[in-house]
Amino acid sequence: MDWDCRTMRIAVLADTHGNLVALEAILADLRTQAPDLIINLGDLFTGPFDPAGSADVQIGLGCPTLAGNHERNLLEGDDTSKSVAFARPLLSSTHMAWISQLPVTLRLASDDVFACHGSPAGGDLDYLLEDVSSGRPVLAADDAIRSRLAGAGPASLVLCGHTHMQRVVQVGHVTVVNPGSVGMPAYTDDRPIPHAIETGSPHARYAVVTRKMGGAWSADLRSVAYDWDRAAQQARVNGSSSVARWTLTGRV
């Protein structure tokens, strides 16, 4: 796909995890930004919220969309994730067929923009910008990030998700943007080691990235208030008190 991004505004979504209440608030805010293009970086429907409703809305956007690790798990039948196990029976055959045709990476603007869920080099489970070796995320060393960018080719902008952490990082000539998570502001994981991700607030998050004349990229990292009490109640009713707590606080 080839878009002229010389002065384009790109809205970047990631990691909605089925949270339709958060997604609707993001889309309302996004309309005020008048982006030229929306890109969705994956982990779309899985979470103890409203998988089918969020699927209908995200499919209806008709925007370039990537498969994340949760889409791969849905297709592979991997129920080790409680979020995946909850979502699968609620998704229709039409939803699953749509997921099956999603790419895992995307190049735009004559390869000047590279989009992925995890990292260009390590796939959908890789943390591009974070080091979680202490059990908490810190910004990875420049050399580590540079090695994970292998595969992005000549791109001057790399878009990634997966870690739910909003960041803009410059590595040489490459601007890396993680828009944060639309629908899940905290979580715990055992891979690559047991660790916790905390954003510290319940806001829904996304980014608007703009290329100015002359080629430089700027990023507006947006945090949107929404009815997180309602979303947390969905998670609670659907059997996940931990996700309800994360949704309300942005902390584990």
pLDDT digits (tens, 9 = 90+) for 130-159: 999 999 999 999 999 999 999 999 999 999
Q: Backbone phi, then psi, for 18, in 5-degree steps?
A: 80, 5
List, for residues 157-170, the tens digit of each pLDDT value.
999 999 999 999 99
For 63-78, b/e burial (b = at least 16 CB within 10 A) is ebbbbbbbbbbbeeee
Q: 55 in helix, strand or coil?
A: helix
Give the least confident one: 54-58, 81-85, 141-145, 230-234: 81-85
Q: How far apart are CA 85 and CA 97, in angstroms?
A: 17
Q: Quickly list H helices, 93-175.
A: 93-100, 142-148
CB 190 within 8 A of CB 30: no
The arithmetic mean of pLDDT across residues 31-53, rounded, is 97
Burial of 163: CB neighbours in 10 Å, binned 0-12, 13-18, 19+: buried
Q: Is the pTM of this model over 0.85?
A: yes
Sign of the C-alpha dihedral, residues 184, 185, 191, 195? negative
CATH topology for the 9-249 domain: Purple Acid Phosphatase; chain A, domain 2 (3.60.21)
Q: Is the pLDDT of residue 226 over 70?
A: yes
> Environment class of residue 220 by beta-carbon count within 10 Å: exposed (0-12), middle (13-18) or buried (19+)?
middle
Q: What is the mean pLDDT of residues 78-93?
A: 92
Q: Is the pLDDT of residue 60 over 50?
A: yes
Residue 4 reports pLDDT greater than 60: no
Is 19 in contact with 46 (CB distance < 8 Å)?
no
